[in-house]
Structure 1
């Protein structure tokens, strides 16, 4: 069997590529104009100085009429319009007030010739432009939130893909007497909650799959690595946080190893330093490897370390976020509760709705394997939970970033599939649909309603 090169950090590579494209756009002159600052003093400074510069320019170019009131086009209004485009109608109105102050300064001896039409038309234009800007900024914020969620799910799918590929390779490379399989290891990782004993279990799995001889796991608290390890293997020594490899891993927030990562002239006591990051890029700790066989220091081994650490930290993040729901409903799958809770956070932050389609299944539907038939129709982002009640069961399908149209489209596709099986309606198949909106109910209320439907 020949091995293929696998990138050590696909997430980091994708992020670098996206940031590079964004930086190229922001580096252009027009791109810089679209980048609005979030600092209050910068917004105030632009709101005042931009129209002031327009007044100064008009005074130098057209001294008799610096505001271009009698010109064919009111060029001075470009300044408030630009501010309204960048920061909205309120900032645009304040910028227009600077023009008004400028007019009073130029005409302080005679206010009888106040240009009412000039300022009225300009204010209306600034209000319209600012309102359009506010609407589009809201759309962009929601789009960025949706894209961030989809990027996280894509990253999760990439990790799962690599884990699947590596698990097949491990079946060919490991000895017949391997104590656990990759699937068993992943199952153990997803049940861990981040305690000290869990960290030791993770380190033992890494030792088995990556041939690590001496290593430690150190926690990350309050923006700093601890110098005391919470898990060790092979008699690891005390941790040197000033080591060049450890510092480089902290700076880059990615796996670093001795063969490629260090610059010329730098020395290190370690072989591998790998930050433990979840999908939200939050750091939980760092794996520091002191000894491992030279032939094991290859791309596939480093990728396995990255993916096992990522799966461990993702499990901790999911358990922490979904803990209130799991305490109230321990029968709910952790992944379903995690996605449900995360969609409620997305709703509160960006007003992006999600929906849960609860399908009440009769004993007839259960006997005909209807749950498995329906779950094969799920979209890639959907999460499902089959809850078995005393007499009836409920198949809950979470549709992230979906609305009532998403559930209607799913039910229409289900009806079409059932007709192919000789069933003329959903009710004939023993299915009663219920649409539960997270926007109206909240995550906890959705789970309560699913349980109520099952026992109805």
Structure 2
């Protein structure tokens, strides 16, 4: 692949260097014979001034040569008037066809001067008016044809140069697109699961947990994390208070016992942050930490209240997977799972403040606030307010059926309004705008009404890590749906 790409790039560079030279040659020539060897001799390419000088010199020399040949054939009739055909007019006609009217008429005027050159001949012979009149008319007609053809040829050449340039640009863009597709394929193969897919799996795991172990759904969480972050050997150890169990609750690959004296484990427990051999904290804490530790990464699992849940220890993972993005991906999944383990406690404050709030909405709201506080990943809350008319009720029910799999919805019904709160994980302002546009287009297609004609009010806000319950209260008051 590398060899083929190198040849392609070399060919593209060589073609790019040779194209301007060919383009200049194409723009300087004015006839289809410009590529012939004799054309380069008699009419070489160059600037307009030099080219005009070459054309004038060529016309003068060719006319004089033709006149000399005619004089050698018949010195008494140097213009070959008595031959029955105006052979000498071939030179002006050729120049008129090739270079236009001016070149042809210049050659014809030289023939006229050649008539008066031999004084004795001009004195004893009457002037051949019809001969020169017919020759000039023929030269003018051929010059007119030559001018029109040269103009059309120049326009066609300009169009061809433009198309050639566009083709070169399209070729380069296609090459870049192919490289982008290859890179995308490599990324997809390297990371088979996206963040949205992984969070959707963890959400299903939390809402349908049936395990009786110390960590609910630990095996399924570890399997999801291994698939998303390319973990080969990893174990999950329960962590309560200051005690970390050395026996794994769940494992991927061969189970192993936790070494609590390992530098990575010690650093992770002290800083409550994900550590790996290349982290600066571990390097400062112990010289040659990468040689002393047997683990590749250690991630503490903390719930939204900051309480210890578990310790995720990775013993083996591919070298190419040891990237900042992949480790941050693992940290996000670990925090999301830790919240799901303690979901009853985490969502209690939301449910106490809003008794009619659905459980999954309260759980996701607490999780996303925690993600925003720890990792800076933004999420948004969108509200659609409908009136209590028959159309408003139909639109309200229709929007509820359009919920995405990862979103959480909270329908609120009041005597005067119907509100749909949609919690959109990992979504910023652009995602909210796209969501509203999709909903409006769907309503227009199904009911023939947009937000304005149907009287639908739209509100949105980004989740806040500071006072999330109060911000939700303010947002509900804005939608006239405060409980």
Scaled by the length of structure 1, the TM-score of the pair is 0.39
Larger radius of gyration: 2
Q: Pick 1 or 2: higher relative contact order, CA cutoff 8 A, min separation 6.
A: 1
